[in-house]
Amino acid sequence: MSSAPWIIESDDLEFPDGDACKAGRIARGLWRGNVVAVKVLTKQAEGSALTERGSLWSSLQHGNILQTLGVSPADADPLFVVTPYHSFGNVMQHLERNPGADRMQLVLDAALGMQYLHTCGVVHGSLKPSNILVKQSGRACIADYGMVEVQSSASHGHRYFSPEAWKGTLSRPSDVYAWAMSASEILTSKAPWGILTEKQIFRLVVQQNMTPDRPDEDLDLTDNVWELLEDCWRASRLRPTFDALVQRLHAGSEQEITIPPSFDNANGLAPPKANRTRYTVSMMSGPPAYDAPSSTAVHPGSAPPTVTHFQPPPKKNLVPQRLTPMNRGSTSDLNSSFDSEEGGTSAGTSPPRTPRSELGLMSSPSVRTSSSAPNANLIAGALSTEVKEGRKRDVVDGYLGKMIALSLGSSKDAHKLVTAGVIPTLIVLLKTRAADGIGLELVLLALGFLIHDPITANAVHRTDTSKTLIDILNAAQLDDIGALAIWCLIRVARTPEVVASLLKHNLGSSLVRKGLRGGQRTSRMAGWCLGAIVRSDAIADALCEMGIVSAVCEHMRRCRSSVNADAADHSAILYAVARLSRSIKIAKQLSKGGCVDALAYFLETAEDPQVLQWSVRAVGCLMRPNSGDMAKTLLDAGIASGLARLPSILPADQIEPLGAFAFAVQRFSCAEWGGGTRKALVEAGAVDALLAALRTAAEEPFPQVHIELAHAIALLADVGGSAIRKEIVSAGGVDILKQIASDTTTRADVAKACNLAATSVMGNLWSRNAASAKAALVHEWSGGCPDHIPECPIPMNEIEAW
């Protein structure tokens, strides 16, 4: 049986320069009498993946991407990819030899190449200047696209990583971020983040959300270009697409952007032709860059080999997820979020969506000042005029889209819109469209984004808008409408007084009847909302009397057993459990309803940081002072081994779940002042896990986590006795505590907590007792689960599609 036409046998290649096919390098060779580049893959490359992706790669033809002529057979050793040979090398090598080259054109070429790849459903995954080659024509082309799905390696690609790429997620927005970083280096000849180390860059990008500063030199960085780069470094859902990038670059360029022919290379080679199946791009997950091996060799005269920091996912639930085109027409009704008990889903009819005009979110009517920035006062005035005069819905939607885009920029921009008086107009529009039943989505989105602080929330509530939102929820037939209405209610319900008013309008029963039993997005928001409205013991008791506890337990069981439920669904209902458990009475009802078994299951099997965080937080909230029975119930269910597992399974950048872990250890320590708890925690390895968590968090800027871990050690050292204190000392726990406390950058409250913990371990009998007593006194017994306001239930790509 003949091989596929894009398969090139090693015997068909010649290497006149004597270049050996060594893994991780590029060799110059001959194929069919023409000079080609042979990229030799590493030993970790997967032959089946290369064959599958090679089919797609060899079918791609565009002047701004490096053509793939073919790939090796899946069983070749080593595996390789054959492309045209470009002697000018990568873009930075070219600029070093030709500093006067048209840098802006090279940036535009890279954007055009990426635009084509995204149109074909290909995510690059490791874009950087070394993967942008320059052809003999002087035009740039993108190389190594999608190679991250075939092999994993490492180099300086971390300088171009977006926050989500650091966490292992590759997507179109992460490509946009990497393009902007690459463009900055092309225009300035300076690598992003200068001399900073990999870990320092990780902290700046992921933990502090920092972006590069604009260089002092003028160079080719005009105000428009720099503004475009900054837009590409925003949150992933706010970044422009490459379609929008090319349009903006074209609009800001004095020269006409020309798109090169679909295929032009130095040798005039054409790839083998065949009918091929197109494959959608996958989203890869893996560890941070500094956990991956690094080895690469660069051959002069061509591009260096593809490098990436992502390892192939080892777990079943980390397999690549295929991106499929969004189908807005398939939105289900509010009764089909999870599999029914009969094993199917219920179906229903839904009214058609409001058609959107061409004036979408990013192309709404222009309201700009001379500085080209959207003006909140003008937008508010224009919207008010259009609503009062009853203009076309498309025009009003255009202004709503502009408001949403502006409010997404920052809370300061949202505040400007509120100050400009847009809230009353939105409320009128909300009530009008609620009566019509059409066009609610954008109004709910705009209102939700503008309720950004308690003052605005109270102002909205005083207009009786909350009752309107509850009515919209009760009448909703579309999942998105129900989810957005609940999301707005979450943002309104920020005080016990507001919540008490909402409960008078039967919010509790609506959240169960139309929320938890609704569509997937609606039920997810209902879980978050049930947790958010628990702002006092009295409210928790009132919800308990309404039967909310049993409804939450039922929904948790449904989520756990459903194949459609994901980490976001689990996190939402776990948050509700943690917030509801404010008394021994409610904790016992939750346990009776099956929550303890579910918590043990999630702690033993889950890998998502948010699921782990809310699971362990719920475990802690179930226990009160001297609640030995509940502690025994949790330990009998195997919770201790789940706790011990948590620090080892968390990614390096996920520190907040360690605070919840420490909180649970504190509650266990206070629930039973005897040997039973100590023995169970020690045997399960929870003490070792606590020390591991302390070492992990020691170098990270999370002061509240440091305090929680220190208090956990103080309490456990007291209840655990001399055996645990010796273990803490021998494992270096006291040294870490003293190191954190003595650091000049450490906050005073953190240093105090660390010194308290060190005393509880090393002090005499009286000082140890005093230290543990102080730790117990500062523990938060009222509730124990922090407030959390979830993100908008509608992804940004869907909002833009509206």
User: Which of 321-330, 384-393, 559-568, 707-716 shows the lowest per-residue confidence on average (mean pLDDT)?
Assistant: 321-330
How many angstroms separate the CA atoms of 781 and 200, rounded?
Answer: 37
How many angstroms separate the CA atoms of 165 and 124, rounded?
Answer: 12
How many angstroms separate the CA atoms of 434 and 56, rounded?
Answer: 47
**pLDDT of 449 above 80:** yes
**What's the mean pLDDT in 149-153?**
73
How large a percentage of the chain has pLDDT more than 70? Answer: 80
Place of tokens 């033993």: 604
**pLDDT of 140 above 90:** yes
Which pair of tokens denotes residue 196?
């900073």
Q: Highest mean pLDDT range out of 319-323, 524-528, 757-761?
A: 524-528
Task: Quick: pLDDT tens for 217-261.
Answer: 656 678 889 889 999 999 888 899 999 899 888 876 555 555 555
How many angstroms separate the CA atoms of 700 and 203, rounded?
Answer: 8
- 646 versus 10: the higher-pLDDT residue is 646
- 352 versus 765: the higher-pLDDT residue is 765
Distance between the two ends of the chain, CA-based, in angstroms? 49
Q: What is the pLDDT of residue 685?
A: 81
For residue 656, the tally of other CB atoms under 10 A from its CB is: 17
Q: What is the pLDDT of residue 334?
A: 45
User: Which of 207-211, 390-394, 529-533, 790-794 shows the lowest per-residue confidence on average (mean pLDDT)?
Assistant: 390-394
**pLDDT of 332 above 70:** no
User: Which of 280-284, 447-451, 774-778 shows the lowest per-residue confidence on average (mean pLDDT)?
Assistant: 280-284
Q: What is the pLDDT of residue 675?
A: 61
Q: Which domains does the chain have, with CATH numbers?
A: 46-69+86-263+298-313 (1.10.510.10)
How many angstroms separate the CA atoms of 419 and 414, rounded?
Answer: 9
How large a percentage of the chain has pLDDT more than 90? Answer: 36
Q: What is the pLDDT of residue 594?
A: 93
Q: Is 5 left (phi over 0), alpha (psi -120 to 50) or beta?
A: alpha
How many angstroms separate the CA atoms of 404 and 448, rounded?
Answer: 9
Task: Quick: pLDDT tens for 512-554.
Answer: 999 999 999 999 999 999 999 999 999 999 999 999 999 999 9
For residue 373, the tally of other CB atoms under 10 A from its CB is: 12
Band of residue 338 on the pLDDT scale cut at 50, 70, 90? low
Q: What is the pLDDT of residue 727?
A: 78
Give pTM, 2 decimals.
Answer: 0.58
Task: Quick: pLDDT tens for 393-420.
Answer: 888 888 898 888 888 877 788 888 888 8
**Could you tell me if 655 and 699 are in contact, meaning their C-beta atoms sit under 8 angstroms apart?**
no
How many angstroms separate the CA atoms of 99 and 78, rounded?
Answer: 37
**pLDDT of 354 above 60:** no
Q: What is the pLDDT of residue 19?
A: 58
Element (H, E) at 175: helix 172-188
Q: What is the pLDDT of residue 23?
A: 56
